[in-house]
Structure 1
Amino acid sequence: MTACLIYNPAARGEKAAALRRKIERLSDVTLMPTERPGHATELAAKAADNGAELVIAVGGDGTLYEVINGLMRAERRPRLGLIPAGTANVFALEHNIPWDFEAALQTALHGTPKTIDLIRANFQNGTRYAAQLAGVGFDAMTLGFVSWELKKKYGKLAYWIAAVKALFHAQPSLTCSFNGCRRECGLALIGNGRFYGGRLVCFPDASPEDGMMDLTLFPRVGLITAARVCGRILTGRSLCLSRADYFQTNQITIESPGVDFQLEGEWVGVSPVTFSVIKHALTFNAPGPQSHRRK
């Protein structure tokens, strides 16, 4: 089996350095180090075009987002593997992928094949894909204020700081079209799995295999409340969803122009944007009876 492993050799911190040493000792996979933001997308597409049977992403939700978008460029898509790292990996949590390096590596190489849907976002600047989640409105605006330096210095507090910064910008108003109706809201969260922002269950009935997206729509509220809600969402803290409306659909269009949206916690662009489901888009190696079998 031809396997390629995509990782960031410039990731900072002691944990990242230890992970890099483990990766660079591997001999049974082709190592593809990234050199710049967005490079993982190019490398994944190249690996697929060169006939790789398996592409393993090492990193957090952002790295996985880039790799998936590279694989979706290819006509023949290799199987996906994941070794979780970084500050967050909602996909790993959703699919019970181990955080231990050796266990995750064996799962990526020998796990049980599982086919999943993806979220597709069509907007003015092109098309992007996500495995887990999307957000439109205040959460995406807030993410634009979160830098690596801020996260390194303050940890999860960085998201609260960013939410306060976002208070000085007008809260967006969204017009959403789905299931033959139109609704107004202040924040739209779209899930292909149960979790958002860590262990926060924002989409309790969501499944990455049912051909549907789950929507949680929050009404427009005061700026202080919006910052509080957004901070709790982005840090994975418990949240009262009683004021939110919950739906399922296979397509939703955000008609309002100029509103920020994000995929997998990465700021992507502005609306108008249409999100739709791509059924059975990718196959990845999930934990299962054979996940720890060695060659």
Structure 2
Amino acid sequence: MSPPRRVLAIVNPAAGQDQAEDILATIRRRLEESGLDFELRETEGEGDARRWAAETDRELVLVAGGDGTVMEALSGIIENEREIPLAQIPTGTANLLARALGVPTDVDDALELALRSGVAVPMDVGHLVDHDRYFALMAGSGWDADLIKAADRDLKDKLGFFAYVITGVKSLFSLKRSRIRLTVDDRRLRFRAHTVIAINVGEIQGSGIALGSNLSPHDGKLDLAIVSPNSIGGILKVLWRLLTRRYEGATELRYFSAEKIKVEADPPLNLEIDGEPIGKTPFEAHVIPGGAMLVVPREYAENKDILP
């Protein structure tokens, strides 16, 4: 992509564990050294990033924060009449979207990618209809939402990503299946499960772990994973399947692919989108094919065969 000349930089000073002043100073210095016409804004509350991104006429939106701040800004860009790429400076706790797209977590390296070496590519986005919220990674109900809800800010500030690991293990011992009513495009199904996840991005680059086979945020579809065992032994079998990439042929782990998904559960399950608790089921999700432009490493675009 050609280097942007006019940049909106959005910084969440509360994200992650690093010093906000140092991050701000680094971003400001790099933008000044690049001779860019830029506006640097700090979020003060929910909705700031979305509103600013929706209203901007800049050529690039640069976001320093965690997954929540990035998705706020991405939601604003989707609502913007202009096609504006988003570049990430990952400063949150998990930074799952950045890791999934191969964006470096070092601030200087991420700035180099955003302003010089990266390419802007289209990416599918999910839309949570009832909440009017967009997601890049997933909308999940059940175990993943339980652990995210349990990992409060104090724990994340102290332990970082390990806060999710600890709460995730604890949540395994309280899993209970619900009666699920599922609509996949025009197909209707019923079954019992404790976790139902609408997936857009199913693999974190370099982790060696994928939530399913051939899950891509560039295929115009959402993938649905249903996890049903409620015993520790059954959960361990599912985890083993994910680690060894043996996804098919198991009743405790099932997959569907669709453009539209609706999930109802009795009793209701906790719900999250891209690592943020958002209430409980039911939820309805639609895919927006190529709904946003994100700056990624050239190697990522080459591997996915999506070079502009």
TM-score range, shorter chain: 0.7 to 0.9
Kept in 1, the 8 Å contact 2:179–2:190? The answer is no
Kept in 2, the 8 Å contact 1:174–1:187? The answer is no
Give the structure 2 partner of residue 52 of structure 1.
Answer: 58
SS in 1 for 2:286: strand
Give the structure 1 partner of residue 11 of structure 2.
Answer: 7
Give the structure 2 partner of residue 221 of structure 1.
Answer: 230
Work out which of the residue numbers 18, 24, 29 in structure 2 matches 1:20: 24
Work out which of the residue numbers 259, 278, 288 in structure 2 matches 1:268: 278
How large is the Cα RMSD of the aligned pairs?
Answer: 3.1
Work out which of the residue numbers 231, 248, 252 in structure 1 matches 2:257: 248
Deviation by residue 1:59-103 (Cα, 9 ceiling, x = unmatched): 222221111122222222421111222221222222222223233
Kept in 1, the 8 Å contact 2:181–2:188? The answer is no
- Offset at residue 12 of structure 1 (A): 6.2
- Offset at residue 159 of structure 1 (A): 2.9
SS in 1 for 2:139: strand
Kept in 2, the 8 Å contact 1:109–1:285? The answer is no
Kept in 2, the 8 Å contact 1:167–1:227? The answer is no
- Offset at residue 268 of structure 1 (A): 1.6
Work out which of the residue numbers 47, 50, 57 in structure 2 matches 1:41: 50
* Distance in 2 separating the partners of 1:207 and 1:67: 22
* Distance in 2 separating the partners of 1:52 and 1:11: 24
Work out which of the residue numbers 181, 188, 200 in structure 2 matches 1:192: 200
Identity %: 29
Q: 1:174 to 1:197 in 2, by over 3 A?
A: farther
Q: TM-score, normalised by structure 1?
A: 0.81
* Distance in 2 separating the partners of 1:219 and 1:177: 17
Q: Which amino acid aligns with 1:8?
A: N
- Offset at residue 42 of structure 1 (A): 2.3
Kept in 1, the 8 Å contact 2:16–2:160? The answer is no
Kept in 2, the 8 Å contact 1:60–1:84? The answer is yes
Kept in 1, the 8 Å contact 2:15–2:65? The answer is no
Deviation by residue 1:145-195 (Cα, 9 ceiling, x = unmatched): 211211222344433553436856865443211141313222112221222
* Distance in 1 separating the partners of 2:95 and 2:223: 19
Q: Which amino acid aligns with 1:189?
A: I
Q: 1:23 to 1:195 in 2, by over 3 A?
A: same
Give the structure 2 partner of residue 101 of structure 1.
Answer: 107
Does structure 1 residue 61 correspond to structure 2 residue 71? no
Kept in 1, the 8 Å contact 2:140–2:196? The answer is yes
Q: Which amino acid aligns with 1:93?
A: R
SS in 1 for 2:277: strand
- Offset at residue 22 of structure 1 (A): 0.9
* Distance in 2 separating the partners of 1:150 and 1:198: 26
Deviation by residue 1:170-226 (Cα, 9 ceiling, x = unmatched): 65443211141313222112221222699331133111111011221101414x568
Q: 1:156 to 1:79 in 2, by over 3 A?
A: closer
Gaps (5+ residues) in structure 2?
302-308
Q: Number of aligned residue pairs: give it.
A: 280
* Distance in 1 separating the partners of 2:107 and 2:43: 19
Q: TM-score, normalised by structure 2?
A: 0.78
- Offset at residue 6 of structure 1 (A): 0.8
Deviation by residue 1:20-76 (Cα, 9 ceiling, x = unmatched): 3312333233111111233222222232xxx12211111222221111122222222
Q: 1:105 to 1:156 in 2, by over 3 A?
A: closer
SS in 1 for 2:217: coil
SS in 1 for 2:51: helix
Does structure 1 residue 211 correspond to structure 2 residue 220? yes
Give the structure 2 partner of residue 141 of structure 1.
Answer: 146
Gaps (5+ residues) in structure 1?
none
Give the structure 1 partner of residue 86 of structure 2.
Answer: 80
Give the structure 2 partner of residue 259 of structure 1.
Answer: 269
With 55-64 and 104-113 compared, the bigger mean Cα shift is at 104-113
* Distance in 1 separating the partners of 2:237 and 2:206: 15
Deviation by residue 1:100-149 (Cα, 9 ceiling, x = unmatched): 323321322242221111011112xx311111222112321332121121
* Distance in 1 separating the partners of 2:237 and 2:138: 17
Q: Which amino acid aligns with 1:118?
A: V
